[in-house]
Structure formats: structure tokens, C-alpha cells
Amino acid sequence: MAGRFPSTRIEALLARMTLDEKIGQMTLVSAGQAVTGPSGPVDYVQAIRSGGVGTVSNLWDPVQNREVQRIALEETRLGIPLLFVMDVIHGHNTVFPLPLAEVGAFDPDLWRRTARIAATEAAASGLAMTYAPMLDIARDPRWGRIAESPGEDPWLAARFAEAKVQGFQGDDLAAADSLAATAKHLAAYGAVTAGRDYATVDVSDRSFHEIYLPPFRAAVAAGVAAIMPAFHDLAGVPMTANAAVLRAVVRERWGFEGVMVSDYGAVAELIVHGVAADIAEAAALALRAGVDIDLMGNAYARGLPAALERGRVTIADIDAAVRRILALKDALGLFEDPYRRGGPLSPTQLSAHRDVAREAARRAIVLLTHRSGVLPLAASGGVIAVLGPLADARADMLGPWAAAGRPEDMVGMLEGLRGAFADREIRHARGVEIGGGDASGIPAAVDLARAADVVVLCLGEARAMSGEAASRARPDLPGRQPELAKAVLDLGKPVVVVLSSGRPIMAPWLFERADAVLATWFLGSEAGHAVGDVLSGRHNPSGRLPVSWPVEIGQIPIFYARRPSGRPADPAQYWSSKYLDLPVDPLFPFGHGLSYTRFAYRDLRARPQTLRPRDSITVEVDIANEGAVAGEDTVFLFIHDPLASLARPLMELRGVAKITLDPGAHGTVTFTVGTDDLAFLGPDLAPRLEAGAFEIYVGPSAARESLLVTTIELVTDERTDAVGPARS
Ligand code: BGC
């Protein structure tokens, strides 16, 4: 990591450090404004004074941070500055949509801008590092952490990784508004068994390298400062102790020189996993795997001295970790000026951040269904009944992982709709609570709906129902909400459902019966305004699904990039890869999202149609806006290798493009496909190119019937040409 402090100064500092001071640098304590795991009473100030702490989590009051930093600088023997870190997952003071929601804007520039703003605000709170971006591919909506994830697709997640790392870290890590980013949780955490958080993971080497690692590799290529190994075990080897991945792949093959920070308490948990007999062994396994910082396990402090005595680790192992930690502090400019972060933000800056939050929120909204032209709602006219437990629920708009966000700063649905429809009468009733069993409010809500012209039904999950440790075996509409919804739908009035959740919600009847359903996930500070913008037509919805949305739980795990079966699913063929009781396709495919206008695709062409290794081709398609309003379309490019030495997925994403068109207008979207896009990991998991035909699919989602197709030909001199760079 490029630092400012000459490495000789780091070496000189290292030479002066005692073993305890070195281990102190490798120790992270959570100081407690927000706690994300089990904790005991820790007198962190005393621990800092004794030189026993190098990094502090969860302090984000600039005055307090300054004072704590002063203690480290003035009251410890060596005066090494502290690193302040926090989970800045989707915004800091200004809360942006959940990652899963923001990914649905399919816009790397937006992803980068929101991370930049989050970094600016977090740095103004005195923080220098974040535990983000979260890069776990998620294909199981039971897993609560799907909310924090970039969705189901590795290519997309890799683009998200690059944008977020650039956004958080800026051009110069030492700048007063830059944060060190942490790519987490390496890797395959999204594949926890049956969607249960922290459970075991057992994926093939191929899936691990082809699906789960690419976003991390992209983060490393973008210069990410830190990596966090995940909590789980991978086929018996906890990631915290997984030297074969952390050292051999990430450090040696990818050349990652940054810091590895354990997950919360994960070093000590190696004992519970059953791979370490005691804390010394746990510490030794983690350090030898490459973990530099022990986050709240107090395992390095308790275990490393004994591990050293037993010869399980060497002082050189410890020095290497400390060197990386000091280099990170140096790169962040902390040796030069430890107080450079922590300046106030102006009201103008904060209001500009809110504008971006509104833009991000409305672009994240996915119009899932739309019948009978109910939307947009007219600006004037009769009564709108805004019903449901999420209609007036500011705190829930925060979603999970928004510790610095304040409920009173959120704009709820009701408030947003009152603003958007100032000339219409708006009436409100909750009907039911989200998870509660009390249905006594339903009749009053139904009466209100009966007297209204249109109903906006705000349903979904509470913010604590997704995120960490929030897996749901039944990811449906919780509590008595189905009763409320059915009673309202039975009236036969136009009903628009605004569905807030951290995951796809399985309620097929709702999608069949409502006139329109919008997935609004958790949209953050500007949630209500964004929903108002979309329902009023001031913003034509453009968000798309970054995950396949299942019909029912029994389809999980579900994703578009399936490999072909020898007996493809066919409801008419008994001996085929189908269900007896459900379709195999999701209710809404990856990329799905409706607009108030219609786009038509014509004339897909690839030029040239033949390419050789390291060439690229241009793929173009014409798009026309055939509706009555302007709109933004998102266009996907997938490839398929129909004949190879291994069965390849039926479709793999390789490009996303955007086009905005006025009604009646048309334009052309252009993609570039290079031979790296056609390479895959061969039987030995080394990247390779195989000659032959490739199909190129272009269109509005992963639904095969919506796509245009053309074929290109890859010509190689030999059957296999070496290619680079590898994708995992
Ligand atoms: C989570 C991480 C988080 C860490 C620190 C853990 O429980 O798994 O995602 O960064 O806590 O708060």
C-alpha cells in the first residue's frame, strides 16, 4: 500500500514496539455506540492507554473521537494513532437505499457517488474506515443478509465492487474525506445452508471461483484497503483460518497487500467451530491464514503470546501483520495528521446529499406489476387511502445497518405522498402491526378504503426482519398483513401496493390481485419523497431486480445463470427437470422492472461476427420508446457458450447499458464484448478460451423470451489459448 511515511519510519517504529504493543495494534475493540455482536463490558479507554488497542469500532461523534485519539497519541508510550471504523453500509447521516435496492439502479456512477457521500459524512464524524462494501452473491431470500448484498450475479457484483471501492476511497486515501474500504465477507457467505445465517457453506471449487470470488477480485484490482473473511466454514475450514484461500489465492495469486480484519469475534469462534483447542490455537490459525486484525475476539491479546511460546507462530508473522496495519494508517494520512478527519459539513452539503438520496431512492424502486393503467395517480381528484403498517413508519425506512441514521430524519410514505398529492385528500389507517397478531384495526382500515377512490397499501417487513442474524424460513408477508390486504382487495377498488422489505417477499396472491406492486425495499432518508415521485409520475420507474424473485419458497435457491440439464424443464414432459406443483421460472426474472412507457428492441447486430483472442466486437441494438412518456431503459447483454469442454450456464451477464428516450424517439445502445468476456475456468479452474460459436442475447431482463439473439464465432489457433486476466 502506497504510504506517505517512508517505510524506514515504519520499520523504526516496529523495532521499538514490545510484543504487547504489537498485539495491541492487531486488536480492535467495539466502543459501543452500535453493537453488532455479543459483547462484554470493555473498558476500552483503559485498554487504549495501555497500548492494547489499534482500531476502534463504532464511535462516530467527532468530538469524542478526537478525545479518544488524543489519549492514544498523548497517553500511550508510542503515540500511534488509532483507526476509527464503522459499518457504513448504505450511507451515514444521509441514508441511501439498501445495497440490494441501490444495485437495482444498475448505475455504477450512482453507486460511486453514494459511496463518496457516505465517505464524506463518515469522515466528518471522525471515521477513517468502513466495513463495506459487502460483496456476497446471494441467491437465497431466506438469508437476511441478502439485503446488504449486490444480488445474484458475479459480473454485476464485480462492477458494484469497483464503484464502491472508488467511491469510499476516492483518489487519495489520505484525503480528509476518504475512507478505507473493506471488501466483505470473503467468500460464499451467501451460500449458507438453507439460508440460515452463520451456518456451514459447502459449495464446489468451481462455484467458489466462478461465482463467489470474482467481486472480491474486482475489489482488490480496484485497490481495496482491507478484506474481511466471513464467519462460516467452507467445507469444514472456517474462512477465518482458511490459509488456502486467504493466503494462497488472495495474497499470493491476486497480490493483495492490504489488511485483513476478522469478522466480529470470529477468531475466538474457531474454538466453537471445533478446529482450535484453545485461544492460542485459534489465534495461531487466524494469523497464519493472514488475518491481521482481531475484531472483538480479544483472541490475539489472549492467545498470541502462548502461540508464540509454543512455536505455532513466529514474531515475523506478527511483524508482518503489524507492518500492514501501520502501512494502512500511514496511507490514510493518520501519522501525518491524525485529526484530519472530523470537520463539520455545511447545510448546503447536507442538502445536496439529500438530493442524491432522493435520486438514488426513486431509481431503486422496481415496478413489479402494473395492470389497468392505475399509475401514475392523478394529481387531483378523489380520496387516496394510505393504509398499512409501513405507511407511517419512519424508523423502518432506515432498513438494517444504518446506525448513524436518525428516524426523525427519514421521510415516511405518508409524508411523501402528502407532499406529492397536495391537491388530493389523503386518509390514513395502519390496520395491523407488521409482526403482531392483533387484527382489530382491519375493519376501520377497510371502511376507510371503501370511502376512497384509490388505495395505497404499504406492506412488508420491519427493518429488523432482514440483515444480520435475520434469516426467515418463511419470507412472506409477516403477521396479519395478508388479512388486511385481502380484505382491502375484496372491495374491488384500485389498489397499489408499496412493498418495503430487505428481500423478495413470497406472496403470489398479492401480485395476482393488486393493480400494481412496487418493490421499494428500504429506501432510506428520502423514501417517502421517492415513492411520491414515482406514484405521481414525476419520475418514471426504472429500477430493475438484481435477483430473481421466486414464486414460492420451494424454488430457492433460484438464479438465472443455470447450467443446462440433460432433461430441460418442460411441463409437458414427465421425465424433465420440473416441479409437479410449481413452474421452474421465477415470478419475476433477474433484470425485471416495468416502466410507464414501452420499449421495443430491433435489429441486434454484432460486428465483426468473428473474433480472435484479444479482439473485441461491437454489439448494437436499436431501441424505440413506443409509449406516451419519456423513460430510461436498462439493457442487458448475456453470453452463452453452447458447446464447450464443460457445460456452461445458459446465460451469463457481460454488459449493462442505459438509454433515455422521449416518447416516439429511438436510439442505439452499444456494447463491447472482448475475449475475456468469453473465457471461462477450465476443468483445472484455470482461465481458458475455447474456439467456436457463442450466442449473444440482448434485451430487458433475463427472461429468455424477451431477448434478441445473434451468434458470433471465436477462432483460435489452438483449441485452448491462454487468456488473462483470470476472473477469480
Ligand atoms: C458482521 C460484519 C460487520 C461486523 C462489525 C459482524 O457481525 O458480520 O458485517 O462488519 O459485525 O460490526
- pLDDT, one tens digit per residue, over 430-472 is 999 998 899 999 999 999 999 999 999 999 999 999 999 999 9
Place of cell 453470453: 639
Task: Please tell me the predicted confidence (pLDDT) of residue 41.
Answer: 47
> Does residue 36's CB lie within 6 angstroms of at least one atom of ligand 1?
yes
Mean pLDDT value across the chain = 95
Atom of ligand 1 nearest to the CA of 231: 8
Atom of ligand 1 nearest to the CA of 185: 9
Query: Which conformational region is residue 4 in: left (phi greater than 0), alpha (psi within -120 to 50 degrees), or beta?
Result: alpha
Distance 525 CA to ligand 1 centre (A): 23
C-alpha 18: how far from chain center: 40
> Does residue 149's CB lie within 6 angstroms of at least one atom of ligand 1?
no
Task: Please tell me the predicted confidence (pLDDT) of residue 718.
Answer: 60
pLDDT tens by residue, 613-639: 999 999 999 999 999 999 999 999 999
| Angstrom distance (rounded) from CA 333 to CA 1 | 12
| Angstrom distance (rounded) from CA 635 to CA 106 | 10
> Does residue 263's CB lie within 6 angstroms of at least one atom of ligand 1?
yes
Contact predicate 122/34, CB 8 Å: no
The C-alpha cell at 334 is: 493518520
Atom of ligand 1 nearest to the CA of 230: 8
Distance 321 CA to ligand 1 centre (A): 21
Q: Provide the 8-state DSSP code for 462.
A: -
Q: Provide the 8-state DSSP code for 68.
A: H
Task: Please tell me the predicted confidence (pLDDT) of residue 520.
Answer: 98
Task: Please tell me the predicted confidence (pLDDT) of residue 5.
Answer: 57
Contact predicate 318/287, CB 8 Å: yes
pLDDT tens by residue, 655-670: 999 999 999 999 999 9
| Residue 724 pLDDT greater than 90, yes or no | no
Atom of ligand 1 nearest to the CA of 86: 12
Distance 264 CA to ligand 1 centre (A): 6
Atom of ligand 1 nearest to the CA of 296: 5
Cis omega (within 30 of 0) for bond into 286: no
| Residue 688 pLDDT greater than 80, yes or no | yes
Distance 263 CA to ligand 1 centre (A): 6
Question: What proportion of the chain, given as a percentage, has pLDDT over 70?
Answer: 96
* Ligand 1, atom 4: closest residue by C-alpha: 264
Task: Please tell me the predicted confidence (pLDDT) of residue 727.
Answer: 46
Of 264, 293, 296, 466, the residue with max ligand 1 atoms within 8 A of its CB, to mutate for a pocket test, comes to 264
| E-strand stretches of 128-204 | 129-130, 182-186
Distance 397 CA to ligand 1 centre (A): 21
The half-sphere exposure of 531 on its side-chain side, counting CA atoms within 13 A, is 34
Using pLDDT thresholds of 50, 70 and 90, give the confidence band for residue 102: very high
Contact predicate 183/224, CB 8 Å: yes
> Does residue 37's CB lie within 6 angstroms of at least one atom of ligand 1?
yes
> Does residue 87's CB lie within 6 angstroms of at least one atom of ligand 1?
yes
Distance 185 CA to ligand 1 centre (A): 9
Which H or E run includes 696? Answer: strand 692-699
Which H or E run includes 27? Answer: strand 27-30
| Residue 389 pLDDT greater than 80, yes or no | yes
Distance 300 CA to ligand 1 centre (A): 18
> What average pLDDT score do residues 41-67 get?
89
pLDDT tens by residue, 118-143: 999 999 999 999 999 999 999 999 99
Atom of ligand 1 nearest to the CA of 37: 7
Active site residues: 263
Distance 538 CA to ligand 1 centre (A): 38
Distance 216 CA to ligand 1 centre (A): 17
The length of the chain, given as a count of residues: 728
> Does residue 468's CB lie within 6 angstroms of at least one atom of ligand 1?
yes
Task: Please tell me the predicted confidence (pLDDT) of residue 9.
Answer: 87
* Ligand 1, atom 10: closest residue by C-alpha: 131
Atom of ligand 1 nearest to the CA of 132: 10
Which H or E run includes 74? Answer: helix 62-75
Task: Please tell me the predicted confidence (pLDDT) of residue 726.
Answer: 46
| Angstrom distance (rounded) from CA 282 to CA 288 | 10
Distance 54 CA to ligand 1 centre (A): 18
> Does residue 184's CB lie within 6 angstroms of at least one atom of ligand 1?
yes
Kind of pairing between the strands at 599-607 and 495-500 = unpaired
Contact predicate 472/144, CB 8 Å: yes
* Ligand 1, atom 2: closest residue by C-alpha: 263
> What average pLDDT score do residues 51-59 get?
95
Q: Which of 98, 101, 90, 96 is nearest to 543 (CA)?
A: 101
Task: Please tell me the predicted confidence (pLDDT) of residue 42.
Answer: 60
> Does residue 588's CB lie within 6 angstroms of at least one atom of ligand 1?
no
* Ligand 1, atom 6: closest residue by C-alpha: 264
> What average pLDDT score do residues 366-377 get?
96
Atom of ligand 1 nearest to the CA of 182: 10
Distance 86 CA to ligand 1 centre (A): 9
pLDDT tens by residue, 546-563: 999 999 999 999 999 999
Task: Indicate the SS3 state at residue 606.
Answer: strand
> What average pLDDT score do residues 296-302 get?
93
Of 131, 135, 189, the residue with max ligand 1 atoms within 8 A of its CB, to mutate for a pocket test, comes to 131
Task: Please tell me the predicted confidence (pLDDT) of residue 140.
Answer: 98
* Ligand 1, atom 8: closest residue by C-alpha: 263
Distance 305 CA to ligand 1 centre (A): 26
| Residue 38 pLDDT greater than 90, yes or no | no
Under 8 Å CB-to-CB from 114, ≥6 apart: which residues?
90, 91, 96, 102, 167, 356, 357, 360
Task: Give ∠ CA 145-151-155 in degrees, rounded to 5.
Answer: 140
Atom of ligand 1 nearest to the CA of 58: 12
| Angstrom distance (rounded) from CA 309 to CA 307 | 5
Of 129, 185, 261, 468, the residue with max ligand 1 atoms within 8 A of its CB, to mutate for a pocket test, comes to 468
Atom of ligand 1 nearest to the CA of 34: 12
Of 28, 30, 33, 36, the residue with max ligand 1 atoms within 8 A of its CB, to mutate for a pocket test, comes to 36
Least confident of 78-82, 370-374, 689-693, 722-726: 722-726
| Residue 725 pLDDT greater than 50, yes or no | no
Least confident of 28-42, 514-528, 587-601, 670-684: 28-42
> What average pLDDT score do residues 317-338 get?
97
> Does residue 131's CB lie within 6 angstroms of at least one atom of ligand 1?
yes
| Residue 3 pLDDT greater than 80, yes or no | no
Of 30, 35, 55, 87, the residue with max ligand 1 atoms within 8 A of its CB, to mutate for a pocket test, comes to 87
| Angstrom distance (rounded) from CA 395 to CA 484 | 22
Distance 58 CA to ligand 1 centre (A): 11
